[in-house]
Amino acid sequence: MKKIVIATKNKGKVREMIDAFAGLPVELISLAEFGDLPDAVEDGQTFAENARIKARFYAKQTGCACLADDSGLEVDALGGAPGVYSARFAGENADDDANNKKLCRELEALGCLESEGRYRCVLAFVDEAGQELLSDGVCEGLVRTKAAGSEGFGYDPYFFVPELGCTMAQLQLEEKKQISHRGAALRAMSTRLAGYLK
């Protein structure tokens, strides 16, 4: 069994990754099991750069192969913003509410009630020898200034999925996994890891 550290302490994310790689000969462990490690400095300009920075940093910190992700929202009308700043769009310690208010303000300032956009997730795997694998997943949709739904988190109430006729926040967790950017990136990484482990 290949031991892989997941570069997150988020229990939901850990669970999702364990489920996604259930068929592979891997043992996934959370960063939480390594005690109080410093935070990686995510100063990349793209999701791929940030995912790589995190995976390399924690592979070095733990001495194990590491899997890291970076993800966020890209809004076409805003030139791809918030992008890598999705979690801190309204400032360093901003919460979901503040980020969503800023998103709506910026769209309204442009006279937009909605814009095409996407959630994007990039996963980076780095092994002890420094070999790297990357996968990426997107979920296309419309970013609206009117919220709907109470499930999910982040920008989900404002992210409308046209083919389903609802927002991400109106989907149950299992439905969301089927179409989500992270789900797509995990499925692609699972295929890449299967080849790597052979």
Which positions are annotated as active-site residues? Answer: 70
The bridge status of strand 65-75 relative to strand 132-144 is unpaired
The bridge status of strand 159-161 relative to strand 166-167 is antiparallel
Strands (E), the chain: 2-6, 26-30, 65-75, 114-126, 132-144, 159-161, 166-167
Question: Would you state the structure tokens that stand for residue 62, as one six-digit string?
Answer: 């733990």
Q: Which residue has the tokens 């850990």?
A: 14
55 burial (CB, 10 Å; 0-12 / 13-18 / 19+) is: buried
What is the number of other CB atoms lying within 10 angstroms of the CB of residue 170?
19
Check the CA dihedral 165-141-75-149 and report its sign. Answer: positive
String of DSSP letters for 71-101:
EEEEEGGGTT-BGGGGGGTT-TT--HHHHHH
Check the CA dihedral 92-96-98-100 and report its sign. Answer: positive
